[in-house]
Amino acid sequence: MAKINVRKETGKLFIDFRYRNVRCREQADLTDTPSNRRKLKGLVDRIEAEILLGTFDYATFFPNSTMLKKIESVEGALRSDQSGGVRATHQTFLCCTLSARLTVRRDLIMLLNLTNIRDIVLTFRNDIKPLQ
């Protein structure tokens, strides 16, 4: 789960989240106001939804980030695994995370691409519990 925090030195907001098991902190050029927090919350919700679906592209959201090289090296290592073990583990994790989050964060459903939801449900239809 991503957090929105404030740098004491600058008074600017930043996002603190984990991606590919790497802690990421990205500075926003926004001062700490309720309006700016709402704007950043929308971005954070979108990032979380894309991470959940496995469609998150770090370079798209943060093209000038100093973390970009580190993230690309981690993703390269995951892609180089030819055994499929990482993908199977990721799918299992996605399934468990999705079923847990659907009951807690229904607002994220609106951010998800319906095609991706259909694909996920078809793949994991025996593991996903319906919303109550």
CA distance 50 to 21: 15
Residue 77 in contact with residue 85, Cβ under 8 Å? Answer: no
State yes or no: pLDDT of 52 exceeds 70: yes
CA distance 82 to 109: 32
Task: Output the six-digit token pair for 94.
Answer: 């996605």
Cβ atoms within 10 Å of 95's Cβ, excluding its own? 16
**Regarding predicted confidence, which is higher, 26 or 94?**
26
At residue 30, φ and ψ (nearest 5 deg) are -125, 135
Measured between alpha carbons, how far is residue 86 from residues 9, 52, 93, 95 in Å?
Answer: 40, 15, 10, 14
Cβ atoms within 10 Å of 120's Cβ, excluding its own? 19
pTM higher than 0.85, yes or no? no
User: pLDDT tens for residues 82-115?
Assistant: 455 444 445 444 544 554 444 444 445 544 555 5
Task: Output the six-digit token pair for 73.
Answer: 């090296």
Please, which residues have CB within 8 angstroms of residue 97's CB and are 6 or more apart in sequence? 52
What pLDDT is recorded for position 95? 47
State yes or no: pLDDT of 45 exceeds 70: yes
